[in-house]
Amino acid sequence: MKRLFLFSALAFLALACSTDQKPMNPFLTAYTTPFETPPFHLIKNEHFMPAFEEGMKAQKVEVDSIIADPNAPTFANTVEAFERSGLLLDKVAGVFFGLQGANTNDEIQKIAGDIAPLLAKHKDDINLNEQLFARIKAVHEQRTSLGLNTEQAKLLDDMYKNFVRGGANLPADKKERFRQINEEISILGVKFDENVLASTNGFKLVIDKKEDLEGLPERAVAGAAEAATKAGLEGKWVFTIHKPSMIPFLQYASKRSLRERLLTAYITKGDHNDSLDNKSTITKMASLRSERAKLLGYKTHAHFVEEKNMSKTPEAVYELLNKLWAPALKNAKKERDAMQAMVRQEGGTFQIEPWDWWYYAEKIRKAKYDLDENELRPYFELENVRKGIFEVAGRLYGLQFVERKDIPKYNDEVTVYEVKEKDGSHVGILYTDYFPRSNKQAGAWCGGFRSQERRDGKMVTPLVTNVGNFSRPSGDTPALLSPDEVNTMFHEFGHALHALLSDQTYRTLSVPWDFIELPSQIMENWAFEPEVLALYAKHYKTGEVIPQALVDKIKKSTTFNQGFETVEYLAACYLDMDWHSFAEPKIVDATAFEQASLKKIGLIPEIVVRYRSTYFSHIWGSGSGYDAGYYYYIWAAVLDADAFEAFKEKGLFDQATASAFREHVLAKGATNEAMKQYVAFRGAKPAIEPLLKRRGLL
């Protein structure tokens, strides 16, 4: 699984501000830490709410100052002035929401619930301010005569459209309803997150009979024993529905009934008709989003979302999904039939069920390719993988990563690096946080505490995070990753590069969401290239580089199980789009709606949609940003498969190609239209054939 939390290096923005008020609150004074990084050793939970309040108050004063300016509206005194507002609020939000995802606690969760409606109101107070909008509109009407450069023109156009999309043109009565909708959605999103986290942490599969561990690799058994000890169940074994614990169990545990129990717990998160049930929450959110879109003049919420993306329309999204669905489903059925045949060969009489898929896929992988994931893990020690990723970035872009132990961190498991150019000049800071904790949301994401910008001619460098939930060390054995976890590390690091190498003036310019996944997904291509494996895939005990025989097996198995992986993902894309295609707001039966959506596309019963509605955090979670947009990954996959062809044609580390990708994709940020940036790099629009070929769908 690859879950990407919102690309907050472009959304969570922080900058040190000074004020003589409340000096004991770290947010309300200038940071004195290296590179003005957040002083986590000083920040306490009680600092957040006062700092949020001061941040909102400060931005209101800044907005009032723009409105009160007696001079005619100009790009400088209105558009740039507004773009520069809200720095203190962004400074606080960057830290708070970063901790809410990666290092939360009961107090932070309570603050999140309290602050959500206040932030929604604050945002609406700005977006619905008629005097401010009038000034921005006046500048927008003169845009062709202002002599703006490309980035300035984009800032102006985006700002104007954001105000319109934020309700600025609504009549007074509809503005009030618009406010109510935004407030309610913000509260529901926080509640959804809390329920998913509690549901995930609330389940434990406790095993007290050693025979029930049959088939499991030693590392999985050892990890479960450690988990049991921590839970006060010495002498037993505990498995959870966190992926690093669950997936190995589904792959190797011989006892079918226990696989069923574990997977069922995972796929019923938020769906138990109890206090943690999310069904009513998501149906309300879908209806409210539909109502908001209608207020703004859009046919559906999906139309509202897609307007700002490369796709432009929901119809274009469905068109792409449909092109991929038929060949993917065909492959998945072949994979299922092969598993069913193996069941019969072994004397089984049961029909394949979802909890059997990982187990028999692993058996077939071994039979067909003589490849066992357990053979690979010893070569994927986490620290070596990280060194390999840094080496790839160094060879492509000349970057250096130097650990900094003098920079405060929010958890002892975090490692902090200063990122430098080849000549030693400072680029930014990278925080890595790779292991699961009960106070961390599931999945993997790239976030940040401050994004790059240029202010008053000075470069403000980014503070970026890579957060994951990868396999932990166990006993004397270091963290040994699965191939999927390796892939995810490369993926999130690609996002980090995008944030670190951004070179734009205005911090509020945002990259289209279906373009955001290009820098991350293209990084995945390097992970298992033989030339790259030789850099990092070294046995954790002997230091031996991964044997060529294993490399060959990896290459031969690249299209293995791609029917399953593509189908479970695409099914989630369809489900997301269907939830956000209501022509009229309505409350539906969540279970019946989901079943109808999946039945419509013909999802086979042996495969469960990657995310069922009740724990689909990408589209319902607070601030997640993937509503009507889970398709972003596959849209960007078309781009990344096509883009990587350029590297394959010239060489994995060809400097001219890497320089062009950095210049036109990574550094450009959102300073121009996304497709123009892509064409500037590639010389043409992307073709879909490389993706189909890569996944074995041609």
CB 453 within 8 A of CB 27: no
Q: Are the C-beta atoms of residues 71 and 81 closer than 8 Å to each other?
A: no
How is residue 573 written in tokens? Answer: 């894309």
**Percentage helix, strand, coil for the chain under 3-state DSSP, each rounded to 5:** 60, 5, 35
DSSP lists the bridge partners of residue 450 as 463
β-bridge mates for residue 460, sequence order: 453
| 142-153 burial code (b ≥16 CB/10 A, e <16) | eeeeeebeebbb
Burial class (CB in 10 A: 0-12, 13-18, 19+), 245: buried
**Residue for token pair 């239209």:** 673
Report phi then psi at 545, rounded to 5: -70, 145
What are 428's strand-pairing partners?
A: 419
Catalytic residue list? 492
Distance of alpha carbon 463 from alpha carbon 451, whole angstroms? 6
The helix (H) or strand (E) run that includes residue 220 is helix 218-230
DSSP 311-353: S-SHHHHHHHHHHHHHHHHHHHHHHHHHHHHHHHHTT--SPP-
Distance from C-alpha of 560 to C-alpha of 363, rounded to nearest angstrom: 12
652 three-state secondary structure:
coil
Bridge-based pairing of strands 445-450 and 205-207 is unpaired
Question: Token match 């695409």: residue?
Answer: 570
* Phi, psi dihedrals of residue 253, rounded to the nearest 5°: -65, 125
